[in-house]
Structure 1
């Protein structure tokens, strides 16, 4: 679909997205877990869902990592950091945490937490579960007089 974690309606919701929904239920008052995995609404609302590697063969984690995608996605991150008004970067997992060096921390909010995958190492960095990253994002947006994200789907 071109959106991280997103799958078309009618396709089984992947485990990582199920964990994202669970965190949203706990973090955002009134959030109702949808029966689908399509995140296009978030994209239309200004949420950029970006993996460092944009393609992968089914069932083979990170097998296209050497295709040069990181050069492209690093450039996207730096462009957003340089050219956009203050934004929130949610870096999920150890690999994403390394991207912080591409972001202007004086201008943007960076939230670093564990990856929502059930396979992620819970000892690596603060876990995803209980991170309250969605309300933290909205709190920052409110503080800078921007519209908070409506996380409902």
Structure 2
């Protein structure tokens, strides 16, 4: 087994974990960490799977690449630790959350409370070299996280898949839209937020989909305490 996963994920991803490419990916990461600063820290590599066990996944919020600046990435897509300034995409998410549900943007960008409510906050690529976005693209992570998406697709109960931007929308091929719900729009990054993310009301749309499938809503409020 190339990686040690938390919770019920090893059982769910048993076949994927036996694939030879994961050993190659592990060797690549060991080499990268020996020569460069890599984010997130190794202890946070599978934080998304740690905070949201497979059986609890109700929403999958897909990001692309971890934040690459110092101290930002901690293993959850779009999230930063409480003391870290909000990157632009996260600021735009909070702006849309305020417009959508009326919650004032918090000072705290730590999105663990969402993860604890069953929102799997997964990046397609789980690591990055410091200050070099997409530097770990096409090294094997996409194959692994596609396996995670396929596993979530196999859940018997409906899941809301949140796909922001063209990169995320390509993952629709793994999703059974007869069983699951897709909430999609432009990406919240500054380059595209004004072209369809602002005004898309994703948070209320996710909650509506959960209500319609008999599931509790997500409380999207982030407290500063």
TM-score normalised by structure 2 residue count: 0.63
SS at match of 2:128: coil
Aligned to 1:107: 179
Matched pairs, number: 149
More strand by percentage: 2
Matched residues in 2 for 1:12 and 1:117: separation? Answer: 15
Matched residues in 2 for 1:130 and 1:66: separation? Answer: 33
Structure 2 runs not aligned, ≥5 long: 1-73
Aligned to 2:95: 22
Q: Which has the larger radius of gyration?
A: 2
Mapped contact 1:14–1:37 kept (Cα < 8 A): no
Aligned to 2:218: 149
Shift of 1:119: 2.6
Matched residues in 2 for 1:79 and 1:119: separation? Answer: 31
Aligned to 2:63: none
Mapped contact 1:97–1:112 kept (Cα < 8 A): yes
Aligned to 1:85: 157
Residue 132 (1) aligns with residue 201 (2):
yes
Aligned to 2:77: 4
Shift of 1:36: 1.4
Deviations 1:96-153 (A, max 9, x none): 0000010110011101211111133865xxx111101111111111111100110001
Picking from 73, 76, 84, the partner of 2:148 is 76
SS at match of 2:182: strand
Aligned to 2:36: none
SS at match of 1:89: strand
- C-alpha root-mean-square deviation of aligned residues, in Å? 1.4
Mapped contact 2:186–2:192 kept (Cα < 8 A): yes
Matched residues in 2 for 1:19 and 1:142: separation? Answer: 25
Mapped contact 2:92–2:193 kept (Cα < 8 A): no
Q: 1:132 to 1:121 in 2, by over 3 A?
A: closer
Deviations 1:2-37 (A, max 9, x none): 1011111111111100000000000114x1211011
Matches within 5 A, 1:18-97: 18-29=91-102, 31-97=103-169
Matched residues in 1 for 2:156 and 2:82: separation? Answer: 31
Q: 1:19 to 1:145 in 2, by over 3 A?
A: same
SS at match of 2:138: helix
